[in-house]
Amino acid sequence: MELLAFGDTGWGDELFYATLMTIAVSITAMFIGFLFALIFTPLKLSKNKFLNFIANSYTTIIRGVPELLVIYLFFFGGTGAVMFVASIFGYNEYIEINAFITGAFAIGIISGAYSTEVFRGAIQSIDKGQFEAANVLGLNKYGKFFKIILPQTLRLAIPNLSNVWQITLKDTSLISVTGLVEIMRQSYIAAGSTRDPLFFYSFAAVLYLLLTFVSMKLINRLEVKYSRGY
Amino acid sequence: MDLELMINSFPKLLNAALITLKLLSVSLIIGLFIGLFFAILRLNKNIFINRFAYGYSYVFRGTPLLVQIFIIYFGLGQIEYLRSTVLWAILKEPYWCAIIAFALNTGAYTSEILRSAFQTIKPGIIEAGKSLGISNKVIFYKIQIPIAIRQSLPAYGNEIILMMKGTSLASTVTIMDLTGVAKYIISTTFKPIEVFIVAGGIYLFMTFIIHNVIKFLEKKYSFN
């Protein structure tokens, strides 16, 4: 227990901040993933073959290639890409991108591929009659989408999105290879300096379990909220 | 684009892909037995046995694979007692540590897949077996298990692909698998995009093969 004391003598406060960091990265990544899903879901559902191809390539590649490889691509390639874009605008100094942004972006792209599939499945399983009924009621495009389709999509998507959230949360442990101090990295540092890896990695496992447990409870509430009337 | 680097690194990465496949197949075979064992425990009516099996799958599914590998590779070596047993011969090898972690992880997911497959078997099928005078043991091995395996093929195919991606974490404990070699080449040449295309292409190819094999098996063993 001494090892977990707050302050200078223990690792309690460090691990606490690391947990907050894990939560922050996960939420940011999930949000970036939603943005990607917002772009790629319509492409997947579109009748245009070319747009279909783009969206399918995105989801197939991301879901077929290991997360770690994607993270290495961003970690080693991110700086180069940003500097290349900056050099077009005439800025030639060295730019270092923050590990948080690189990590959240890499995990976000992965999470986005899963979210895209979830939203596609949810929209496709909405009864055709709902679209027709909305048309009959004379709703415009936005009313139809936001008032009729989206609430039903959310109800169908939430159980699967909670899986995506779990995957995203666990994937953030991989960002530790880039040096961002989240749970895994902090445990690595603590294990190294105290020579007690068994304790710190087990404690990291407990922290992750706690995060998944609490988030499942919260998501269950959302599920209840969106399925009222069913 | 550095085409020369891509061509030069291809044989190296292909060799490393063999290690990835070895890691994958060994851990899948061990994991299948672990999964079947825990799935049977889950169906047990004894609440302690049942809870134990649930706890196992909950812990391994709720924590990142990376933590599991680190606990086994870095953590278990710390226990003095383990160092004096025969087990140490296995646990000091990063290769076996990775396989143990992968097998336990995929075992947890497999047990969930098989459990739900067992539970969706219609009671009528088992009753039909009983009315024909077949013993419970034979019903289990000759009727329930084959149906459960067929039932779980699609989900298990996904699990194989997820596990193949999971083996990339072996590179964090010094194993030079496909991701490990890719990372090595990236960090020596600073050409991440080229290496990503080649290594990612090999991974995608493997995913494609696994996907199609599972599809073929599904068709072969379909009920119609």
**Chain segment B117-132, per-residue pLDDT in tens:** 988 888 898 899 999 9
Judged against a pLDDT cut of 80, whether residue A80 lies above it is answered with no
Position A94 scores a pLDDT of: 75
The pLDDT of B110-123, averaged and rounded, is 91
Distance CA B97, CA B91 (A): 6
A-chain residues near B199 (CB < 8 A): 69
Mutation for testing the B interface, residue in A61, A75, A76, A172 having most B CBs under 10 Å: A76
> Nearest CA to CA, how far is A198 from chain B (Å)?
4
Query: How many CB pairs below 8 A link A and B?
Result: 113
First to last CA, chain B: 50
Sorted by sequence, the CB contacts under 8 Å of residue A169 that are 6+ apart come out as A22, A26, A208, A211, A212, A215
Neighbour-count burial of A51, counting CB atoms closer than 10 A to its CB (0-12 exposed, 13-18 middle, 19+ buried)? middle
- CB within 8 Å: A213 and B183: no
Buried b or exposed e, range B82-95, using 16+ CB within 10 angstroms: eeeeeeeeebeebb
Average of pLDDT values for B96-108? 96
Q: What percent of chain A has pLDDT over 70?
A: 98
What's the domain range around B109?
3-220
| Mean pLDDT on B196-205 | 95
- Contact assignment for B204 to A204 by CB distance below 8 Å: no
> Is B179's CB within 8 Å of A66's CB?
yes
Nearest to A69 among B68, B70, B196 (CB): B196
Of B66, B71, B207, the CB nearest to A174: B66
**B residues 1..60 contacting A (CB < 8 A):** 58-59
Q: What is the DSSP string of B152-210?
A: HHHHHHHHHHHHHHHGGGGGGGT---HHHHHHHHHHHH--HHHHHHHHHHHHHHHHHHH
Residue B224 pLDDT more than 70?
no
Cα Dmax for chain A: 69
The pLDDT score that the predictor gives to residue A50 is 95
Cβ <8 Å between B172 and A177: yes
**Nearest-CA distance from A155 to chain B in Å?**
23
pTM for this predicted structure: 0.89
Q: Which residues contact A152 (CB under 8 A, 6 or more apart)?
A: A126, A130
pLDDT single digits (tens) A112-155: 999 999 999 999 888 888 888 888 988 888 888 888 888 888 88
How close A61 gets to chain B, by Cα (Å)?
7
Q: B199 near B178, Cβ under 8 Å?
A: yes
3-state helix, strand, coil in chain A (%, to 5): 85, 0, 15
- Single-letter residue type at B113: I
Q: How many domains does chain A have?
A: 1
So what's the pLDDT on residue A1?
60
Number of domains in chain B: 1
Instruction: Report the b/e string of B1-38 with b at 16+ CB within 10 A.
Output: eeeeebeebeebbeebbebbeebbebbbebbbebbbbb
Work out the minimum CA distance from A85 to partner chain B, whole angstroms.
16
Q: How far is CA A207 from CA A51, A200, A201, A221, in A?
A: 41, 10, 10, 22
Average pLDDT over residues B142-146: 86
All residues at 6 or more sequence positions from B200 whose CB lies less than 8 Å from its CB, including other chains: A61, A64, A65, A69
pLDDT of residue B78: 82
Mean of pLDDT over chain A: 89
Nearest to B60 by CA among A175, A170, A177: A170
Minimal Cα–Cα distance from A97 to chain B, Å? 16
Nearest to A173 among B66, B199, B200 (CB): B66
Question: Quick check: B97 and A197 in contact, CB under 8 A?
Answer: no
Whole-angstrom distance, CA of residue B58 vs CA of residue B60: 6
Read off the CATH number of the domain in which A203 is found: 1.10.3720.10
> Is residue B7 scored above 70 in pLDDT?
yes
Helix (H) or strand (E) holding A187: helix A183-194
Q: Is the dihedral of CA A35, A40, A208, A5 positive or negative?
A: negative
Domain that holds residue A42: 2-226
Residue A222's pLDDT is 87
Half-sphere exposure of residue A111, counting CA atoms within 13 Å on the CB side? 29
> Residue holding tokens 């739900």?
B116
Q: For residue B88, what is the domain's CATH number?
A: 1.10.3720.10
Calculate mean pLDDT across residues A183-188. 93
B67/A204 touch (CB, cutoff 8 Å), yes or no: yes
Q: Is A128 exposed, middle or buried (0-12, 13-18, 19+ CB in 10 A)?
A: exposed
Determine the pLDDT at residue A178.
Answer: 86
Q: Tell me how far apart the alpha carbons of residues A199 and B71 are, in angstroms, rounded to a whole number.
A: 9
Averaged pLDDT of chain B = 91
- Is A198 in contact with B199 (Cβ distance < 8 A)? no
Q: What tokens appear for A120 in the block?
A: 């596609």
Of B34, B37, B38, B15, the residue nearest B26 (C-alpha):
B34
In this predicted model, which residue has the larger pLDDT, A79 or A53? A53
**CA nearest to A168 within chain B:** B64
DSSP for B57-124, written as a single string: HHHHHHS-HHHHHHIIIIIGGG-HHHHHSTTHHHHT-HHHHHHHHHHHHHHHHHHHHHHHHHHHS-HH
Distance CA B110, CA B105 (A): 9
